[in-house]
């Protein structure tokens, strides 16, 4: 979802979450270490919009944040493994 099209409640929540995450290096590392930051906030936005529609609140649960983090970590790991495989693969 394009953040420009997000509801004001979601944008406010996203701004608060970003300020919280970037307020401390340990917090930032916990959420964003070794994952694509843009994808993280894109997923947060998607969940937030869904939450707003379903229950009137844009806030994500701890479980939702963990789900995003784990999914993106797995994607990053798969990408690293594929890069290693193809970098070591030779047709010679």
- Domain boundary assignment for the chain: 3-88
CA–CA gap between residue 59 and residue 16 (Å, rounded): 10
Instruction: List pLDDT tens digits, range 21-77.
Output: 999 999 999 999 989 999 999 999 999 999 999 999 999 999 999 999 999 999 988
3-class DSSP state of 61: coil
What is the residue whose two structure tokens read 């944040």?
65
Q: Rounded to two decimals, what is the model's pTM?
A: 0.80
> Quick one: pLDDT at residue 59?
98
CB of 9 closer than 8 Å to CB of 20: no
Nearest-5° angle of CA 67, CA 41, CA 66?
Answer: 15
């Amino acid at each position: 979802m394009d953040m420009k099209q997000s509801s004001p409640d979601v944008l406010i929540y996203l701004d608060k979450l970003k300020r919280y995450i970037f307020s401390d290096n340990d917090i930032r590392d916990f959420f964003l270490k070794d994952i694509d930051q843009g994808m993280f906030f894109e997923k947060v936005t998607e969940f937030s919009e869904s939450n707003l529609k379903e229950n009137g609140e844009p806030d994500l649960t701890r479980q939702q944040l963990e789900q995003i983090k784990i999914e993106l970590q797995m994607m990053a790991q798969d990408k690293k493994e594929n890069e290693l495989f193809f970098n070591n693969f030779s047709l010679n």
